[in-house]
Amino acid sequence: MLKNVPPVLSPELLKVLCEMGHGDELVIGDGNFPAESVGRDAIVIRADGHGVKEILDAVLTVIPLDKYTKNPVALMSVVPGDPVKPTIWNDYKAVIAKHGEDPKAIEMTERFAFYERAKKAYAIIATGETAIYANILLKKGVVQ
């Protein structure tokens, strides 16, 4: 066991976060995200039973976001015509701000463009999140 490490960060996830370098990207996917097919070339970590907000909060305790890019955070845009209004995005902004990061540094990405970007991610965390459009992509920054 380690001190001051959120318990939702499994040893496998901590190892992956430590291995990631500046500019590497991490996807935290909701329960509907096709983590295994999109993540064929990535490390896929299961975090069933946990929500995206919980994992996001834990991840941001140990890694910074990239300060050298305008938008180190990306969300999947709602498909045009879909009446869903994701309220979880406000939770993400609060978590990002809680960790001293800029909650305005979020890029909205079209669904299939998000999938293409996720295919290049270093790792994908597959959660049990039930909220729709709850996927988030983070670009790791420099630990100072």
DSSP per-residue string spanning 40-77: TTSEEEEETT--HHHHHHHHHHH-PBPTTSS-SEEEEP
Q: What pLDDT does 117 receive?
A: 97
Q: What pLDDT does 68 receive?
A: 96
Sign of CA dihedral 96, 97, 100, 105: positive
For the chain, 144 residues long, the average pLDDT of each consecutive 10-residue run is 91 97 98 97 97 98 97 98 97 98 96 98 98 98 93
CA distance 45 to 98: 25
Rg of the chain, C-alpha, whole Å: 14
Q: Domain locations in the chain?
A: 25-139
Give the HSE-up count for residue 119: Cα atoms under 13 Å, Cβ half-sphere: 8
Burial class (CB in 10 A: 0-12, 13-18, 19+), 49: exposed
Annotated catalytic residue, options 5, 18, 22, 142: 22
Residue with tokens 């959120």: 6
Q: What pLDDT does 106 receive?
A: 97
Q: What pLDDT does 66 receive?
A: 98
Is 50 among the catalytic positions? no
Pairing type for strands 136-139 and 25-29 reads antiparallel
Say which CATH class 25-139 falls into. Answer: alpha beta
